[in-house]
Amino acid sequence: MKKNQFMLTVVVALAFNPVLHAQAVEAKQRLNDIEGHWARIPVEQAVESGYVSGYADGSFRPDKLVTRAELLAAVVKAQRLEVRDMDTPFQDDRGWFRPYLAVGLKLSLLKMAEYDSGKFKPNQTMTRGEAARLFVRAAGEEKAGRAKGYVYMSKQLGLLKGNSSGKIGMDRKMTRAEAAVVIRRLLNWQSAQARTVGSLTEQPAYASTGELQQLVVSLESFSGDVMVSGQTVLLNPKGSGKPADYKITLEYDSRKKATTIWLYEKPGLHKQLLMELLVRYVGESADAAYRDAVKLDAGKAGEARLLKTYNGMKIIMDKSEASKSLAIIIYSN
């Protein structure tokens, strides 16, 4: 529908918030309704990153259903795409969301033919099936989505996950918390793809305690406590707050250009967390690296040592005789 055709870069209402920008909560303000929520960590990270926001009363309302306009805006903002307020073919494109709608059409994240009567219906809540289509396109897998199905591809890419029977529930509505989690998975997937060159995976730029800390909180499987002490990032997977429960540490040595993961418990007790960490460094070889870590840990302390290359990354694994801990040292290419 024709509107004033001026081209103006804008900062509009924050994504996931149907109220005006002025009513949104500052990104770093503590949210008052997500303590104990299963998606607390990814929600907090999404708010800090600025692609979603809470409300003026300090709440996030994680179980509230997300709308079409909110989810589209969040995906666009998360990828730092430039938006401009410009006319679109939709008849109902008046509102804060129009710049996001325009860039969504331009990048084929959505298509006019998929909407009835030329209306976007921005306040309509989003089904998981419709969201799968948006996420797969944002991942650059439109061709595969058309050929194999968007829901299938969303599972293959690790974006949407099914229930115990493997069903996505494509007609079920998506919540704000679920949307934040899937966007984090999308960003992680894109990050992993960007680091892949041929068959080799480049060393990620986790070259400071701050970057290592951000790496930890971005892990989907981690919902515990993180503490920085000097050059070391300490992880308490239980989230108990007890010093004795900080069983994993990460350190980056700028001189050696190496990241060391110290495990003070059996690797199998933290399999998912360790696997996610290894994926960030060695990609598809993470499973092989994890198996070797488990095997090495079962060996005799002081005698168990392994030097091996995984997906182009040199890794030394060493079981300490003094502390019975396992060190996984990952060197830059």
C-alpha span between 232 and 219 (Å, rounded): 18
* pLDDT value of residue 263: 93
C-alpha span between 129 and 136 (Å, rounded): 11
Of residues 126, 106, 115, 225, the one with CA closest to residue 182: 126
* pLDDT value of residue 301: 61
* pLDDT value of residue 33: 93
Q: How many CB atoms lie within 10 A of CB 106?
A: 13
Decide if 167 contacts 160 (C-beta within 8 A): no
Q: Return per-residue pLDDT of the chain as tens, 333 residues.
A: 443 332 333 333 334 443 323 333 343 457 999 999 999 888 988 898 899 999 999 999 999 999 999 999 999 999 888 888 989 999 999 999 999 999 999 888 999 989 988 999 999 999 999 999 999 999 989 888 988 899 888 988 889 987 655 677 888 999 999 999 999 999 888 877 665 544 444 445 577 787 888 788 777 788 788 888 888 899 988 888 788 899 999 998 888 889 999 999 999 999 989 998 998 888 888 899 999 999 988 876 656 789 999 988 899 999 876 556 899 999 976
pTM of the model: 0.57
252 DSSP 8-state letter: E
- What is the torsional sign of CA 122, 125, 128, 129? negative
Domains in the chain: boundaries = 8-194, 209-331
